[in-house]
């Protein structure tokens, strides 16, 4: 059997193991080690496990992951999200659909200091769902807005997903953060426009909340200050060259800790829970990276990615047709498994293909992240839908999927805009370079 054939069999075996419930990280590790043993020899596989793996995991750049996760955890435990939601609700809750719009806005703010899909959905599910139920919101719209808002955690910087991809593909974290600004802002605007249009046509979907005076509105802005300061410190420091990505994560974590402690909102129990959750999430991400390194080395040895790239480049069709096929694969894959896991698994195959076709790697990464993240709310898996379902057990899963479907058009418009106008992604990284 040729090395390329072994690569195809290995990829199929990995998909089969994941289909029966084996964790993604361990699946990639197993297939990577066994595959290298078959293509080369067991000694080479052991060498890969020892020297190459140690070299990857001892990289200073990986420290950025636990630091950004810790920042998000400290901000959440100290109540930054609750105050952010209250401020947005005070300003926009009076409008039809205002609480649903507030949920999307707050999700975008929390995603910017958290970077996680599931954490954003879980947090907003706790805070927003009781409010929307109290004001008689349609259950599909309320649960759908929470689930779709949670997807913003993967695309708004500082995103853990973008950090992991940057490490895996040896790209600049700063470039990916800057590149995701405009698409994520466009996506938020489109989601808000969807809510406004739906509630304008059918006001019963999202009845208006109580009116608030200007004094109350101005007082509520204090709840935005902490989130704005953290975001400005981290992203502004990166953009201005004050920090490396790891230093920005450390500065953000320290800032969140200082804010919580000085305000008396972060006790020992909160700090302990934040540390434990940081360790849990960071370990999960590092295991994924470990599996991706082993699996990626295996595919490189088999030359499967390069054979695929050469085959695709020789096809008598425009490159955009191949791109649309790849995006279709990512849309389906994102619906079947976690976005981060699917991206880590497939990038060793499709990233070389994109380079062979001449696509900008930063643009391609942001586009894939958008498409795959959309899968977090589409059947049959829809991770965010099931997270929200846990906070609304009385709402059928089908109702949540129906509510999410209202927002899919906004995602598709954003994706189409990024494809047609690449400068939406590339303008800021070029300006910063």
Contact 141, 406 (CB under 8 A): yes
CB distance 375 to 334 below 8 Å = yes
- 218: nearest Cα among 90, 73, 363, 304: 90
Residue-level pLDDT at 395: 83
Best CA proximity match to 198, nearest among 299, 341, 97, 310? 97
Cα–Cα distance for residue pair 350/355, rounded to 1 Å: 9
Q: 207: burial class by Cβ within 10 Å (0-12, 13-18, 19+)?
A: middle
Distance CA 222, CA 214 (A): 14
CA distance linking residue 43 with residue 25, whole number of Å: 22
DSSP state of 369: H
The candidate with the shortest Cα–Cα distance to 287, out of 16, 102, 35, 30, is 30
Tokens 């590149």, located at residue: 179
The DSSP letter of residue 79 is: T
Give SS3 for 378.
coil
**Among all chains, which residue has been given the structure tokens 């500082």?**
158
**Residue 281 CB coordination number (10 Å):** 21
**Structure token digits, residue 425:** 């992604």
Tell me, rounded to whole angstroms, the distance of Cα 172 from its chain centroid.
17
| Contact in structure between 209 and 198 (CB atoms under 8 Å) | no
One digit per residue, pLDDT tens: the chain, 433 residues?
Answer: 788 888 888 888 887 887 787 877 788 788 888 888 888 888 877 777 777 667 666 766 667 778 877 887 887 788 777 787 778 778 777 778 888 888 888 788 777 666 566 667 777 777 778 777 877 888 888 888 888 988 887 888 877 788 888 888 888 888 898 899 899 999 999 999 999 898 888 888 877 767 777 887 877 777 678 778 887 888 788 777 788 777 887 888 888 888 888 877 888 888 888 888 888 877 777 777 777 777 777 877 887 767 776 776 677 788 888 888 888 888 877 776 667 777 877 888 888 888 888 899 999 999 998 988 887 788 766 767 777 877 777 888 888 888 888 889 999 999 999 999 999 999 988 887 7
State the Cα–Cα distance between residues 406 and 400, nearest whole angstrom.
Answer: 10
Q: Which two tokens stand for residue 192?
A: 């808000």
**Confidence at residue 367, expressed as pLDDT on a 0 to 100 scale:** 93
Give pLDDT, residue 60. 66
- What's this model's pTM, rounded to 2 decimal places? 0.75
Residue 74's φ and ψ, nearest 5 degrees, are -65, -40
- Beta strand extents in 257-374 (DSSP E only): none
**pLDDT number for residue 313:** 67
pLDDT of residue 179: 92
- Sequence-distant (≥ 6) Cβ neighbours of residue 180 within 8 angstroms: 155, 156, 157, 159, 162, 366, 369, 425
């Amino acid at each position: 059997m040729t090395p390329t054939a072994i690569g195809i069999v290995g990829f199929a075996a990995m998909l089969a193991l994941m289909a029966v419930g084996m964790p993604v990280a361990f699946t990639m590790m197993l297939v990577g080690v066994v595959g290298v043993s078959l293509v080369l020899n067991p000694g080479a596989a052991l060498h890969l496990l020892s020297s190459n793996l140690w070299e990857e995991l001892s990289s200073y750049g990986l420290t950025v992951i636990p630091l950004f996760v810790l920042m998000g955890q400290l901000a959440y435990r100290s109540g930054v999200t609750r105050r952010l939601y209250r401020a947005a609700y005070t300003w926009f809750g009076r409008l039809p659909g205002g609480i649903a719009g507030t949920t999307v806005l707050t999700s975008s703010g929390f995603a910017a200091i958290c970077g996680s899909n599931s954490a954003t959905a879980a947090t907003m599910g706790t805070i927003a769902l009781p409010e929307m139920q109290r004001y008689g919101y349609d259950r599909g719209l309320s649960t759908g807005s929470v689930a779709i808002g949670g997807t913003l955690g993967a695309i708004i910087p500082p995103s853990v997903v973008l950090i992991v991809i940057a490490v895996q593909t040896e790209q600049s974290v700063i470039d990916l953060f800057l590149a995701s600004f405009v698409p994520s802002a466009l996506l938020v605007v489109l989601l808000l426009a969807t809510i406004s249009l739906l509630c304008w046509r059918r006001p019963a979907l999202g009845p208006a909340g109580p009116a608030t005076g200007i004094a109350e509105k101005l007082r509520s802005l204090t709840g935005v200050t902490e989130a704005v300061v953290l975001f400005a410190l981290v992203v502004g420091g990166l953009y201005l060259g004050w920090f490396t990505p790891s230093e920005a994560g450390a500065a953000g974590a320290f800032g969140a800790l200082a804010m919580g402690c000085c305000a008396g909102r972060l006790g020992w129990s909160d700090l302990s829970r934040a540390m434990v959750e940081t360790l849990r999430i960071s370990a999960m991400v590092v295991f994924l990276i470990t599996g991706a390194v082993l699996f990626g080395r295996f595919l490189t040895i088999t030359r499967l990615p390069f054979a695929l790239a050469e085959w695709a480049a020789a096809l008598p069709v425009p490159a955009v047709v191949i791109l649309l096929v790849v995006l279709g694969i990512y849309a389906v894959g994102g619906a079947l498994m976690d976005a981060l896991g699917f991206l880590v698994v497939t990038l060793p195959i499709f990233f070389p293909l994109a380079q062979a076709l001449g696509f900008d790697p930063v643009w391609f990464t942001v586009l894939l992240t958008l498409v795959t993240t959309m899968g977090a709310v589409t059947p049959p898996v829809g991770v965010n839908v099931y997270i929200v379902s846990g906070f609304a057990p009385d709402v059928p899963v089908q109702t949540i999927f129906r509510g999410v479907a209202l927002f899919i058009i906004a995602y598709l418009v954003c994706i189409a805009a990024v494809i047609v106008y690449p400068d939406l992604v590339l303008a800021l990284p070029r300006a910063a370079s």
